[in-house]
Amino acid sequence: MINYSIAIMGTKPGTFKANIQETKAYGTAQVHERLSFDGFCKHIADHNSPFSKGTIKGILTDTVACLREQMLAGNSVELGDMGIFHVELKTEGAVTTDDFGTDNIKAVNVRWYPGKGFKNLRQEAQFQLVPGRKAQKEDIEIIKNTDTIQGLE
């Protein structure tokens, strides 16, 4: 189940209508829990895997190191249904090609193109509307204050 909240946000920066920025309602996914690397390895091991959590952790650690090595060598790497990973450059423009050099490269980011195992998540997903983070925080404060007041009675 994917929890989501609804937030009013402006459209892309620079999009103005009569100097008034447009706003629209957008859905925002709310992460339920962040699974640690150890937790994820245990999760895999618990799915009828013949390998222990430690073996899986070692394989995934080596996979990350090799994936990084291959991308730094300029290669893209396909990991089956997971998809394709490659590098993408964030650059600052130069007036001419002669003016462009490695100083214009500001960041090297990882780009992921989902494979078929990730292409149909929308079709399989179930959604539940929940309060946004701000509303959740306010609700928690109300609950804490109510508990404190009830404790004084």
Structure tokens of 55? Answer: 């073996």
* Residue of 3, 1, 4, 23 lying closest to 12 (CA atoms): 23
pLDDT of residue 120: 81
Residue 100, amino acid: F
pLDDT of residue 149: 62
The domains of the chain are located at 35-75
Q: How confident is the model at residue 134 (pLDDT cuts 50, 70, 90)?
A: confident
Is the pLDDT reported for residue 138 higher than 70?
Answer: yes
The H or E element containing residue 99 is none
The residue among 90 and 147 whose pLDDT is bigger is: 90
pLDDT of residue 12: 60
Structure tokens of 80? Answer: 């089956």
pLDDT of residue 151: 61
pLDDT of residue 23: 82
CA pair distance 23, 20, nearest whole angstrom: 9
- The model's pLDDT over 8-50, given as tens digits with 9 standing for 90+, comes to 887 665 555 555 567 888 888 898 899 999 999 999 999 989 9
